[in-house]
Chains A and B, each alone.
Chain A
Amino acid sequence: MSARLIGAVVLGALAGTAAGADILDAHYDAARDQIVAEIAYRGTNADHEFVVEWGRCSAESPPRLAGRLIDRQGKDAAREDYRVSEEIPLRDMPCRPALVTLRLGRSAHADLFVEEK
């Protein structure tokens, strides 16, 4: 589940992956206990919803964990470039604290540390 933080902005150019989506920035927002990810993608509209699919925690300390961002409109045609900020809630995160790698599409990733709750 994610909530849109700011409106989508049509970009002049998308410096992203060949797959058409990129994570421009991601950080842990301790005050609201969520991840905020700035995402660029190509589509026909500014309403793409990105949800996170958590992986499995590794045995290390702190554990490593992959979160795969899924574009709910992944079949949308790549027409225009958009940039959105997504709030990613952490209630389903399987372990904390953790070193999280967010993945999106082909080769887009961002690393961040999520603190203990």
Chain B
Amino acid sequence: MKAIVLVSAALAFASGAALGQPPHSPDADALYRQGLSARQLLDAPLRDARGETVGEVQDIVLDRGGNIRQLVVELGKQSLHVPWRDVSIGEDMEFVQVALRELPRDEDAVPGAWRVNELIGDYARLADESRYGLVTDVIFSERGEATAVIVERDRAWGGAGHYAFPFAAFDRAAAEYALPYQRDELVLLEPFDYLRLDRQSVYAGR
């Protein structure tokens, strides 16, 4: 029986390692080192080029490949789309800053775009069973590429908690977010450690 350590699996996927690589990959720390949590980005204050807080992040727009393209931000009465390339992440991921002197007024269409709030809150299913848990977060690399989804499952599945799985693709028409694993494969799971993310992320103490 193949056992999967989820954090390691996520990293093997994120780093493009071969699928046959042992699950206890030595580069498993990369998820925490490079990790940027969607939950930390959402509702984060948005600062303008002068450092003044002008709004907050409402949502994250991604392309088909799972790359962040825009942040949806609320500024007063308006909801605007800010290009990801113009955004920097503040210390300890506690705010985001946009370098633009004037924020864009129009939304640029992103082909096949979806929003992270559509995925967060979806049920996750296994290949052989429904309702494995709830998707509670998405972890991005420094480049803004989705590398893992965090699923909260309950005790009935062998231990409650949050677990990281490699991000594959998001199908917004599917009834549940599909994890390509059988129940028997998920016996040795390491819970995702948010405290470790806070300590080791490149954004910590920045």
B-contacting residues of A (Cβ < 8 Å)? Answer: 17-19, 44, 55-58, 60, 63-66, 68, 74-75, 77-78, 101, 103, 105-109
Contact = CB atoms under 8 A, between A and B. Distances in A.
Most buried by B among A19, A60, A109: A19
Contacts of A17: 121
Given A64-B130, A106-B117, A75 B78 contact: yes
**Number of contact residues on B: which range applies?**
20 to 34
A60 B78 contact: no
Interface of B: 42-43, 58-59, 74, 76-79, 117-118, 120-123, 130, 134, 136, 171-176
Given A60-B130, A64-B130, A106-B42, A55 B118 contact: no
B151 to A, nearest CB: 13
Given A19-B58, A60-B130, A64-B175, A77 B78 contact: yes
Contact of A68 (B76, B79, B172): B172
Contacts, number: 65
Given A56-B171, A64-B176, 17 more contacts: A18-B43, A19-B42, A44-B77, A55-B173, A56-B173, A56-B174, A56-B175, A57-B175, A58-B176, A60-B130, A66-B173, A77-B78, A78-B74, A101-B123, A105-B121, A106-B120, A109-B123
Contacts of B121: 17, 103, 105-109
A66 to B, nearest CB: 5
A34 to B, nearest CB: 20
Nearest to A98: B175
Contact of A66 (B77, B117, B134, B175): B175
A103 B122 contact: yes
A26 to B, nearest CB: 15
